[in-house]
Amino acid sequence: MAEVFRGEAMSVQGFKKQVAIKRVLPHLAQNKNFISMFLDEARLGARLAHANIVTVFDIGAADNTFFIVMEFVDGCNLKAIIEEHRQQGRRIPVKDAVYISIEACKGLSFAHEVQDDDNNDLHIVHRDISPPNILISKRGEVKVTDFGLAKATTQLEKTDPGVVKGKFSYLSPEAALGEPVDARTDVYALGIVLWEMLAGRRLYLGETDYATVKLVQQSNVPSLSRINPEVDAELERVIGKSLEKDVEKRFQTARDFGDALAQYLFSRQQKVTAFDVANLVKWVVDSKKATKAGQKPEQSIIDRLIQEELLRFTSLDDVAPTPDSDSGEKDGARPLDGGLFENPADWFADDKDVQSAVETKARDQNRGPRWSESGVETPEDAGDLSDMLEEKAEPAPRTSAPAPAAERVSVPPEPKTSAPVATATETKLKTTAEDAKDRPSEAGKSNAMLYVAIAIVVIAGAGAAAYFGGFLS
């Protein structure tokens, strides 16, 4: 019936404002009944100044048709959010769906209770509450729009008896039966919207318009908790009350419906704000842009991890049987056999290098470090090395040896002579020197062995220092 443009209102001193311009289609401009209904929408919209209702700024005529200047809502409508979730196999979070419904209840409650200049109730009924008429901005603001079919006491266009106005899938049972409607009709329609947000599918949708109207008249509502396990019994009870076929059993006002939904969130201690809804809108807008650009929308980290785990998953039924398995018998069904287990200690029994390294490690762990007075660690086998060197070196022959102390006897001193008397030590050194002169080959051999022993001691000391230096580090 009309088309909407995005415009820019300009005024003095560079004042600019983004607006939406709703213009009647040219072929309907000559229809007096439609023009009257269009003017009703403009006049009611001018009175409905509320944060949850799209504001009407002005009305005008140009090119033989009328137009309405309205608030521009930068975001998307609720239908786009529902459809995007359905196409991607996702559900709108319960708390977000409840919050959107609460905000819509605020706008409807204001419209239902608005009065004229004489404080008389206008008894406004929207009569077309549906997902396309609930706009949500990128800031998470929820706004009800399109009061073109609204019923009010001041409207110019009167509805003929029995005439049904509104989208068939969102009619109330009394509206589908052609009976008088009031604010409870909008409550029923908003209950349908909330049901569809949580279910991810339409509530009343027949193969034809007539079949759809018959479904609304019957008002058979399937169990929502069976469709969405996240919906508990309390929330289903609240939604069920908004969808009561009997208007007397239904929530009597949008205020009561919104209060019941708010009580549900508070009782469950669920935090939800406009920021959460803003993230929801941003995801939908980005997905639609990616789809138009021919790109696949980017998955969240959690969705990507879930997909990766699903790809790794292998069913037990898909595992091929081993060639040596019995006919049809699964390995998991067999009892455990102790003889089939292996001893890890036998894995390297035939490997000589491994066994040698294990024995060396065990010998090193059993020996404790010893410390010399100089602070350098001396291995325990240093004594063994000295003994080995003494065994290899040939001792020099001794000509005389002092008698044990127990066998010594006192001898009277001999008379002094001109020659000095040699002591036992001098005698031993002299004898050794004489023997060395007599056996030069053996003396050289003894010196060579001494040099070899010194070299071995130096090498052993260096190795011990390196070993214990690494141990200390």
Task: Give the angle subtended at the CA of 459 by the CAs of 454 and 461, to the nearest 5°.
Answer: 95
Instruction: Kindly list the distances between the CA atom of residue 72 and the CA atoms of 19, 109, 360, 392, 436, in Å, as whole numbers in the listed order.
Output: 5, 22, 85, 108, 121
Active-site entry in 96, 128, 146, 186: 128
Asked whether the beta carbons of 176 and 162 are under 8 A apart, the reply is: no
Q: How far apart are CA 52 and CA 66, in angstroms?
A: 25
- 351 included as an active-site residue: no
- Other CB atoms within 10 Å distance of the CB of residue 221: 18
- Tell me the two tokens of residue 21: 């311009």
Q: Determine the distance from the C-alpha atom of residue 369 to the mean position of all C-alpha atoms in its chain, rounded to a whole number.
A: 54
Residues in CB range of 289: below 8 A, 6 or more apart: none
Asked whether the beta carbons of 416 and 409 are under 8 A apart, the reply is: no
Q: Rounded to a whole number, what is the largest CA-CA distance in the chain? A: 169
Task: Give the angle subtended at the CA of 14 by the CAs of 11 and 16, to the nearest 5°.
Answer: 65
Beta bridge partners of 77: 135
Place of tokens 């069913």: 315
Burial 223-248 (b: 16+ CB within 10 A, else e): ebeeebeebeeebbebbbbbbbbebe
**Considering Cα of 48, then 50, then 55, then 60, what sign does the dihedral take?**
positive
Closest CA to 4 of 18, 20, 28: 20
Closest CA to 285 of 469, 80, 114, 453: 80
Q: Are strands 75-77 and 134-137 parallel, antiparallel or unpaired?
A: antiparallel
Place of tokens 């230096």: 469
| Catalytically annotated residues | 128
